[in-house]
Amino acid sequence: MPPTPYYRADLARIHHEGFGFHADRVAPGVLSILEPVLARRGLVLEIGCGSGRLTKYLVDAGHRVLATDASPAMVELAREYAPGVVALEQLRLPADPVPPADAIVSVGHPLSYLDTEEEIRAAVTALASALRPGGVLAFDICDLEWGRARLHQPPSVWFGDDWVLITRTSVPDDRTFRRDMTMFVREADDRWRREAELHDNVLLDTADLPDLLAASGVEAALRASFGDEPLPPGLVVVVGRRPA
């Protein structure tokens, strides 16, 4: 498996410490969607678990969880933050096989980090195919509106006790959203280490996704949120079910 260019060790830790609010915000809605799966003790597959912020909510609610992420650094953090999962593995879509599950969830738009729209469509089809009868699928993904809402967005700066993150964004075309991130992390001798990552998100017309899922036997609809939480402009939620 080739190394992921995204979320190496420094940015993985910064993301865990400074950006857990999305998982906190969507967790109640996700748990509500998954209530039928909890009742029958089904297996929940989490795609793009990151450092385990949502994973911990799932485990604490009593779910059996198989958590996965493409970033080795994120997988290591999740092992520490969310013990109690059935398994925690590195998995990169669309190349890696998707294990069968009674529910598949994904938050923080990890599918948008794939390289092309064709890869995203292949990954969505693979997720649908892995869903068992009666199973539930729920994920968020970046629509074309994500880029339109962020044209000319100014740089942003975040900081913690021993890190600083500077993010510059751009929209090179109507189907690409780019984050150019520079981070500074303080080392034990009070010197600062510099690291950088460049992330591209693929944007797509999400209106096509229900038809794509229907072709794999999953009845799905687009939603504004997982529950009643507010989400950023351009982030669309897809919720589907495979008939029993």
Q: What pLDDT, on a 0 to 100 scale, did the predictor assign at position 1?
A: 41
Question: Does residue 41 have a pLDDT over 90?
Answer: yes
Q: Where are the beta strands (DSSP E) in the chain?
A: 43-47, 64-69, 87-90, 101-106, 131-142, 156-159, 163-173, 176-186, 192-202, 219-223, 235-241
Helix (H, G, I), strand (E, B) or coil at 59: helix
Same domain, 154 and 110: no
Taking all residues of the chain, what is their mean pLDDT, rounded to a whole number? 96
Domain hosting residue 172, numbered range: 146-202
Same domain, 46 and 126: yes
pTM: 0.95
Helices (H), the chain: 9-18, 21-33, 35-39, 53-60, 72-81, 117-130, 144-148, 209-214
Same domain, 34 and 129: yes
Question: Is 4 contained in some domain?
Answer: no
DSSP state of 204: B
Same domain, 95 and 28: yes
Angle at Cα 207 formed by Cα 45 and Cα 221, nearest 5°?
Answer: 50
Same domain, 211 and 131: yes
Same domain, 90 and 104: yes
Question: Is 118 contained in some domain?
Answer: yes
Question: Is 22 contained in some domain?
Answer: yes
Mean pLDDT of 25-44: 96
Same domain, 103 and 214: yes
Structure tokens at 23: 């998982």
Which residues, other chains included, contact 90 with Cβ-Cβ below 8 Å and sequence gap of 6+? 1, 68, 69, 70, 71, 72, 75
Question: Does residue 91 have a pLDDT over 80?
Answer: yes
Q: What pLDDT, on a 0 to 100 scale, did the predictor assign at position 4?
A: 55
Q: What pLDDT, on a 0 to 100 scale, did the predictor assign at position 240?
A: 98
pLDDT tens sequence across 162-185 = 999 999 999 999 999 999 999 999
Question: Is 49 contained in some domain?
Answer: yes
Same domain, 37 and 85: yes
Same domain, 99 and 186: no
136 bridge partner residues: 103, 241
Question: Does residue 2 have a pLDDT over 50?
Answer: no
Same domain, 95 and 16: yes
CATH number at residue 168: 2.20.25.110
CB of 10 closer than 8 Å to CB of 87: no
Same domain, 101 and 192: no
Q: How many domains does the chain have?
A: 2
CATH number at residue 232: 3.40.50.150
Same domain, 49 and 127: yes
> Can you state the angle between helices 9-18 and 72-81, rounded to 10 degrees?
40
